[in-house]
Amino acid sequence: MKPNAILINISRGGVIDQDALVKALQNGVIRAAALDVSEPEPLPRNHPILQLPNVILTPHIGGATEKTTHEMLEKMI
């Protein structure tokens, strides 16, 4: 990835090598990351990714929109 890249993961935490991601973010290999998932979930309170200023974390709610909820209910019914 380019140094100005922002990695976004909304799929599964295991898709990303989090240790490699932490190193890449710390060393400026990529600019930032936005993560809605992690491995494990939730992350331990002392996980280094939680200390990085160039990371945005959400608690696995990225898909929790009104439209998505409606569509999931429709499929379930």
Q: Which CATH number belongs to the domain containing residue 14 in this structure? A: 3.40.50.720
Number of domains in the chain: 1
Catalytic residues: 12, 41, 60
Residue 63 pLDDT exceeds 80: no
1 found inside a domain: no
Q: Are 32 and 55 in contact (CB under 8 A)?
A: yes
Range of the domain at 70: 6-75
Q: Are 37 and 60 in contact (CB under 8 A)?
A: yes
Range with the poorest average pLDDT among 34-38, 60-64, 71-75: 60-64
Q: What is the pTM of this model?
A: 0.80
Q: Which residues contact 55 (CB under 8 A, 6 or more apart)?
A: 25, 32, 33, 34, 35, 49
- Across the beta sheet with 6-9, the strand order is 6-9, 32-35, 55-57
Per residue in 4-45, pLDDT (tens digit) is 999 999 989 999 999 999 999 999 999 999 999 999 989 999
